[in-house]
Amino acid sequence: MQPGLVSLAGGNPYLQSLPLDRLGATAAKIIAEHGLEALQYGGGQGTLELRTQICEVMAAEGILDADPDNVVITAGSQSAQDVAAKVFCNPGDVILLEDPTYVGALNTFEAYEVDVQPVSGDEHGIIPSLLRERIAALQAEGKRIKLLYTIPNFNNPSGVMLAPERRQEIVDICREANILVLEDNPYGLLKFDGVLPAPLRAANPEDVLYLGSFSKIFAPGLRIGWALVPAHLKQRYYLASEAVTLCPPTFNQLLVSDYLRNYNWLGQVATYRSLYRERCMALLEALDEFMPEGVSWTTPEGGFFVWLTLPEGIDTYPLLYKGIDAGVVFVPGAAFSAARGPSNKLRLAFSAVPPSELREGVRRLAPVLADAIGAN
Amino acid sequence: MQPGLVSLAGGNPYLQSLPLDRLGATAAKIIAEHGLEALQYGGGQGTLELRTQICEVMAAEGILDADPDNVVITAGSQSAQDVAAKVFCNPGDVILLEDPTYVGALNTFEAYEVDVQPVSGDEHGIIPSLLRERIAALQAEGKRIKLLYTIPNFNNPSGVMLAPERRQEIVDICREANILVLEDNPYGLLKFDGVLPAPLRAANPEDVLYLGSFSKIFAPGLRIGWALVPAHLKQRYYLASEAVTLCPPTFNQLLVSDYLRNYNWLGQVATYRSLYRERCMALLEALDEFMPEGVSWTTPEGGFFVWLTLPEGIDTYPLLYKGIDAGVVFVPGAAFSAARGPSNKLRLAFSAVPPSELREGVRRLAPVLADAIGAN
């Protein structure tokens, strides 16, 4: 094992498994043969070809009725979130979300001075009855709840998958309360085994605004994501997106289109699934082997992350520096919580790290956590 | 002359003069040799290499003291505008701007429910004394004025250049009134002849937020622009930009970096200058030859556009359809005005059209305008 730092912090996809030489040749061909299109301004909604192909990607994700006309391509799905908050929320409006949730979404929503409110969940995701109670309580306080932001498949950071049997009820509760569901599904195809659960959007075209991304199944450096928008909201959403970036990068769209057309992209997804499964298993085995009493963790069925819980009273933020001294990096839990207070949780990412290094990272982390538990 | 439609509408750069085969080979090399960086997430502010090179581009534009640490790379300068409005304005705040001005800026600002207020100008741009009066009048009404948005070099759509002798006074007026200047300078290097006037930012690092773009000097389809932010505002601006797009596209940044490092980019700018100069001259000559009595127009010293004024009482919007019937397209003036009412102006873009076609377009347009003037 090399002496360097083991980073279990960043949720980067493992790009080493992409065919880089061939992709380079494809990029060259696009510029040489279609450069006047690739390097020029394009339409604000994105190319029709890529929007049509995105509908095929969403079909693989479990959405069978998507219309390219309701797809808006964005500069990564981060930008699609930003536009959703901009279009649907005023300062003080409430966005409900899982706690923990994606730090980038918290940053986006807070920039609009939105009131982000956590909804309680368990190892199977949001609990419908508690969602209903939370909505009632907030409405009783006079709050205007506009969106439920959720990552139902392999939540970042928790790795939790929303149970299939809870899904329709959650949409129904939101529909009754006039709350739009903002479903963020970047990891949907990266379930390790078995059948993919249907997205919330699948059976609910008017109630769910669905966010997708090529960052986890292809290449985040291209910044190509999308929104599938309910038909009655599409025009507003599209114009707002156009006002933010004018158009998504044309060259990048053509490169993604070629990848979807001429490469075995589903084969690459299968490669990723088994790669990430192997890494997740290695991480979980190492946790079993090394973690001290008092630490518990999630058992993800897909995605990039495992979420650790330490005993109450321990703040994982100062442990970050002790971890670095011990040669391992993680992300403290506070970042992922709307409360942003001290947190006894932390996130480990297995996506970018080979199994032997994952094991070494956990081996280094264990005494740091054991010391903190002993001192607690 | 071909029988097809002559489009004088779109302000597209003329990419035919770029070395597409060589650019394709560069793109291939970047992915093959640096694919793990190019296709991966990058930093939210953009790469240090490109930010450093952008400081060299700005030096050519007349800004000699830019620090890469204060440069934030964005998904086109449209996104940089969007972030500026988001960070500095609340609903109801005033943004002062030229009338006419860039339609994309109007769309961006209106999305934030900002109160856009035009400032009077003439063929040499904003008139300082009138700016001072306008600010006083708005403040007397209790308005909070946050920004002056201006395109001092070859305004889109008017083609007007702000007179060098007015520039410092305009910044001084804004500084005294605590108004940040948002200087949008995509066409700055595209002055046809002679010395480039110094940007407003040049001598005023704390009072001007400067927006730059590779869309007009290289390739809009890459969507790479930037903001040079006053040091005391940089952190706020950067975090807001990161919340919108996470990071600018890495691959595109590496491609622009290689272009600036290994190509004769200033030679390409010189090629563009003389190309656009020739086209502008052809358009102006055709206007002299064909336009009926009662039509006047600007005489740009750079950029992409000429702005026509018809007699009062004529609305150019319905003339668009008559123009299309006659085989020529332009953009009616209403789009470029905060008032968005009927307009007796229209924009002609010469950037993407060869001289002979420009002449044919104007020849077709002339009787449409003559009829409208006759009927007025």
Query: Which CATH architecture fits B39-262?
Result: 3-Layer(aba) Sandwich (3.40)
pLDDT tens digits for B224-242? 999 999 999 999 999 999 9
A6-17+266-375 maps to which CATH number?
A: 3.90.1150.10
Q: Do B39 and A221 touch (CB under 8 A)?
A: yes
Is residue B340's pLDDT more than 80?
Answer: no
Cα–Cα distance list, B154 to A259, B286, B295, B330 (Å): 40, 20, 20, 18
Q: Which band of pLDDT confidence, cut at 50, 70 and 90, is reported for residue A1?
A: very low
pLDDT tens digits for B47-95? 999 999 999 999 999 999 999 999 999 999 999 999 999 999 999 999 9
Q: Do B32 and A38 touch (CB under 8 A)?
A: no
Say how many C-beta atoms besides its own lie within 10 A of residue A88's C-beta: 20
Q: Is A251 on the interface with B (CB under 8 A)?
A: yes
pLDDT tens digits for A38-54? 999 999 999 999 999 99
pLDDT at B271: 96
pLDDT at B80: 96
Distance CA B47, CA A142 (A): 45
The minimal CB distance from B20 to the residues A35, A75, A223 is found for A35
pLDDT at A339: 84
ipTM for the whole complex: 0.94
Mean pLDDT across chain B: 96
In sequence order, what are the residues at sequence separation of 6 or more whose Cβ sits closer than 8 angstroms to the Cβ of residue B139?
Answer: B145, B177
pLDDT at B1: 45
pLDDT at B3: 64
Q: In A, which residues are within 8 Å of B247 by CB distance? A: 223
pLDDT at A338: 87
- Alpha-carbon torsion angle A127, A129, A130, A136, nearest 10: 140
The minimal CB distance from B16 to the residues A24, A32, A36 is found for A36
Per the CB < 8 A criterion, the answer to whether A336 and A102 are in contact is yes
Q: Is B266 on the interface with A (CB under 8 A)?
A: no
Name the H helices within chain B: 20-38, 48-61, 76-88, 103-111, 128-140, 164-176, 234-245, 250-262, 265-290, 316-326, 355-375
Q: Which of A12, A30, A33, A41 to mutate to test the interface with B (most CBs of B within 10 A)?
A: A41
- pLDDT average, residue stretch A136-164: 97
First to last CA, chain B: 32
Say how many C-beta atoms besides its own lie within 10 A of residue B17's C-beta: 11
Is residue B21's pLDDT more than 80?
Answer: yes
Q: In B, which residues are within 8 Å of A248 by CB distance? A: 223
pLDDT at B97: 97
Q: Do A223 and B249 touch (CB under 8 A)?
A: yes
Q: Is B239 on the interface with A (CB under 8 A)?
A: yes
| Ranges of each domain in chain B | 6-17+266-375, 39-262
Q: Which residues 177-206 of B are in CB contact (within 8 Å) with A?
A: none
In sequence order, what are the residues at sequence separation of 6 or more whose Cβ sits closer than 8 angstroms to the Cβ of residue A33?
Answer: none
Is residue A2's pLDDT more than 70?
Answer: no
Is residue B131's pLDDT more than 50?
Answer: yes
Q: Which residues 58-87 of B are in CB contact (within 8 Å) with A?
A: 75-76, 78-79, 82, 86
Q: Which residues 303-362 of B are in CB contact (within 8 Å) with A?
A: none
Beta bridge partners of A329: A7
Q: Which of B22, B39, B102 to mutate to test the interface with A (most CBs of A within 10 A)?
A: B39
Lowest mean pLDDT segment, chosen from A298-302, B189-193, B225-229, B336-340: B336-340
Residue of A nearest to B22 (CA): A32
In CATH terms, A40-262 corresponds, of 3.40.640.10, 3.30.1360.170, 1.10.10.10, 3.40.367.20, to 3.40.640.10
Q: Do B75 and A108 touch (CB under 8 A)?
A: no
Residue of B nearest to A247 (CA): B223
Distance CA A337, CA A317 (A): 13
- pLDDT average, residue stretch A27-36: 97
Q: In A, which residues are within 8 Å of B239 by CB distance? A: 107
Q: Position B152: which residue type?
A: P
- pLDDT average, residue stretch A278-293: 98
Our measurement of the distance from residue B11's CA atom to the centroid of its chain's CA atoms, rounded to an integer in Å, reads: 10
Mean pLDDT across chain A: 96
